[in-house]
Amino acid sequence: MSKKTPKTRRPAPPVTKPRNQLHNVLKPGQSEDAAGAEFIMQGTAANAVTTCRWSHLVFGQPVDVTECDLAMLRVINEIKEGSLAPAEAILTAQALTLNAMFTNFAERARQAKLVETFEQSMRLALKAQSQCRATLETLAAIKNPPVVFARQANISQGPQQVNNGTEAPSRAKQFAPAPSKLLDGDHGERLDEGTQGETVDCDHRLEPMEAVHRAPKRRR
């Protein structure tokens, strides 16, 4: 009798997830609705989808949305930890791209035969040049932040204490307001008006003037 050879099972084909769908991993005890709401509120999911759709026109093939979202989260966490290397790399790459756009439009303007085409190409070239300059200025500000010098204005009433040094004073000093010098003399003695005089009656009754004191009549 011939023995039957056991049939070997073929391994199941791996399940391929579509690249244009965003997949999320549920946390322990988390519902699908809660995971979906948290996924949307993070802000990276929608940006990852938009980045992949725009990048499809550049690379010519679809990019995995989930991997793009995870890569975006890694860059965000790196910036949170204090490293600005990803931002500096993006700004540098954008500045180089804008410079390439400037040279492209400038060459188109040189080869233009119509005035309208020349003006349109030069306008786009100068816009790309302006954006390239602004991008480089932003990159320089990130590398070397500007120092702001602010003057301190102390506007208050009464005694006050202002400490501009780095070391804290051991004991606060109280400053009393300076006395007014209007009542003091040159030698530090208080001015005295003297003894008070007698009160006299100044309300005299007015009497008519004599004839001799009158003004002469004018002749007409």
Q: Show the DSSP H helices in the chain as ranges.
A: 32-41, 44-59, 65-80, 85-111, 115-143
Q: Where does residue 15 rank: exposed (0-12), middle (13-18), buried (19+ CB within 10 A)? A: exposed
Amino acid in the structure at residue 213: H
Which tokens hold the place of 20?
Answer: 């244009």
Distances (CA, A) of 1 to 4, 7, 8: 9, 18, 21
pLDDT at 69: 86
Q: What is the pLDDT of residue 168?
A: 54
Task: Provide the pLDDT for residue 29.
Answer: 83
Dihedral angle over CA of 35, 36, 42, 44, nearest 10: 120
Q: What angle do CA 143, 74, 96 make, to 5 degrees?
A: 45
On whether the pTM is more than 0.85, the answer is no
DSSP state of 82: T
Residue type, 17: K
pLDDT at 126: 96
A 10 A CB-CB count for 68 gives 21
Helix (H) or strand (E) holding 28: none
**Residue 89: CB partners within 8 Å, gap ≥ 6?**
none
Q: What is the pLDDT of residue 189?
A: 57
How high is the pLDDT of residue 113?
92
Kindly give the confidence (pLDDT) of every residue in the chain, 220 residues in length, as a single tens digit, with 9 standing for 90 and above. Answer: 555 555 566 665 555 666 666 666 777 888 888 877 887 787 788 888 888 888 877 777 777 888 888 888 899 899 889 888 999 999 999 999 999 999 999 999 999 999 999 999 999 999 999 999 999 999 999 888 877 766 666 565 666 666 655 555 555 555 566 665 555 555 555 555 666 667 666 655 666 666 655 666 666 5
Q: What is the pLDDT of residue 54?
A: 84
